[in-house]
Chain A
Amino acid sequence: MRALVVDDSRTMRRIVADILGDLGFDTSQAGNGREALDMLEAGQTFDVACIDWNMPVMDGLEFIAAVRAQHEWSGLTLIMVTTEGERDQVVRALAAGAHEYLMKPFTPDALASKLGLLGLLPVEESL
């Protein structure tokens, strides 16, 4: 499984990438929505993208709308990962095409639970 982490904070990118790495994902990183879009346009493919909302150049909401406008990227699962925590903002992100929404700060198991909901983690087979 391949994951793309889109966040303008290098620290945050590393934290999210480390969690995804521990869950078995190969991860790539982009500093804003435009960089992430460039990677997709260059033909890179990912199973899931974890996207910050507030970023320079192109924010997370614009990136999500741009991805959902392209049929060829319809297999990419989009998770908004943000400090924005109002109900209306969750509504806006879902309306733009986000599949899930995770509010910062979060624990590694919270991100894992979201991936589980989206069918991106194997079911635990044993205790």
Chain B
Amino acid sequence: MTISAGTFTFVADLVRRRSGVQLTDDKEYLVEARLQPIVRQIGLSGVDEYVDTLRTVPYGAEHDRVVEALTTNETSWFRDFTTFQILIGHTVPALVHDRRVSRPLRVWSAGCSTGQEPYSIAMALLDAAPGLTVEITATDISQEALRRGRAGRYSQLEINRGLPAAMLVRHFTRAGTEWELSEEVRSKVTFSRHNLLDTPPPGGSFDIIFLCYVLIYFGPETRREVLCRVRSVLAPGGFLLLGAAESVIDVGDGWDRVPVGRGHVYQVNARGAA
């Protein structure tokens, strides 16, 4: 079964307008695969019929559901171990060394999905710098992903994906068929809904911003806008971290790309600060 060209165009346009994510023409299979479970749940005959009903009603929760279904992505613990090595070995020591005020270290995990990234940051910092006060803001466009993140419970399949066994033992307990994160780790992370195309998240500036495997879904124009917003909430001397495989991305001339170990960090330069 395939979807009609009109259905694809409508969904691609909706997703682009609401999230900035560009679904290229070869992503027809993705639209069908992600919407099929919703269609089955509602009891309609197919994706075309479902999308036809969306066209006839004003924008609402059902449209949000489509955007969420198309923008939620697979995630794992410590995705890119290199990035976390940079965080612990370079970024945090540099910030701690340069600090003039003793406020908490503020971290933003942008596009946090179901919470594995912000919790990985929390665990890494707890283990490497136990005395450091840290506040992690985790944001995503998907309410369902945020709900799962707040719950802090993960299946065995999710636990298997990238979580070091030593951290499993240190920070999780078994809860039925799932694993539950300790209150100590969960208390470091605050989840809130945020669309990267909107204003920056509330709460002031951040010392470290994780924007891993988010920019790859945007076109050049949206990428520039998002990076501009990110720059506006990065504290002086702060660091932006991208995914290890994203070093090919052109971040524009407002950023310095600083090589660290096997990866890179990004800092706002004089042009970006102007």
Which A residues have a C-beta under 8 Å from some C-beta of B?
85-87, 90-91, 93-94, 98, 100-103, 105-107, 109-110, 113-114, 116-117, 119, 123-127
Contacts of A102 in B (CB 8 A): 160
B169 within 8 A of A: yes
Complex contacts, A123 vs chain B, CB 8 Å: 80, 82, 244-245, 262-263
Identify which of A85, A91, A93, A123 gathers the most chain B CB atoms within 10 Å of its CB: A123
CA distance A93 to B168 in the complex (A): 13
User: Considering the chains assembled together, what is the distance between the CA atoms of A116 and B246 in angstroms?
Assistant: 17
List, in ascending order, chain A residues with CB within 8 A of B157's CB: 105-107, 110
Nearest residue, chain A, Cβ from B173? A87
Residues on A with beta carbons closer than 8 Å to the beta carbon of B270: none
Q: List 28 A-B contacts (CB under 8 A).
A: A85-B156, A85-B174, A87-B168, A87-B169, A87-B172, A87-B173, A87-B174, A90-B165, A90-B168, A93-B165, A94-B165, A103-B159, A106-B160, A107-B160, A109-B161, A110-B157, A110-B160, A113-B76, A113-B77, A113-B160, A114-B160, A114-B162, A116-B81, A117-B162, A119-B81, A123-B263, A127-B245, A127-B246
Please judge, given known A-B contacts A103-B156, A103-B160, whether A90 and B81 are in contact too, CB under 8 Å.
Answer: no
CB distance from A23 to the nearest CB of B (A): 15
Q: Say how far B205's CB is from chain A's closest CB, in angstroms.
A: 29
Residues of B at under 8 Å CB distance from A?
76-78, 80-82, 156-157, 159-162, 164-166, 168-169, 172-174, 216, 244-246, 248, 262-263
Q: Is the interface of A mostly helix, strand, loop or mixed?
A: mixed
Minimum Cβ distance to chain B for residue A57 (Å): 25
CA distance A77 to B80 in the complex (A): 20
**Min CB–CB distance A102 → chain B (angstroms):** 6
Q: Which A residues are CB-close (under 8 A) to B82?
A: 123
User: B172–A117 contact, CB under 8 A?
Assistant: no
Q: Are B162 and A113 in contact (CB under 8 A)?
A: yes
Q: How far is the CB of B238 from chain A (nearest CB, A)?
A: 24
Residue from A101, A125, A126 in contact with B165 in the complex, judged by beta carbons closer than 8 Å: A101
Question: Chain A residues with Cβ under 8 A from B173's Cβ?
Answer: 87
**CB proximity of A2 to chain B, nearest CB, Å:** 22
Report the Cα distance A1→B149, complex, angstroms: 37
Q: A87-B172, A113-B76 are in contact. List 20 more A-B contacts (CB 8 A).
A: A85-B156, A85-B174, A90-B168, A90-B169, A94-B165, A100-B165, A102-B160, A103-B156, A103-B159, A105-B157, A110-B157, A113-B77, A113-B160, A113-B162, A116-B81, A117-B78, A119-B81, A124-B245, A126-B245, A127-B216
Complex contacts, B246 vs chain A, CB 8 Å: 127
Instruction: Determine how close the nearest CB of chain A comes to the CB of B74; give it in whole angstroms.
Output: 8
CA–CA, A71 and B25, complex, Å: 56
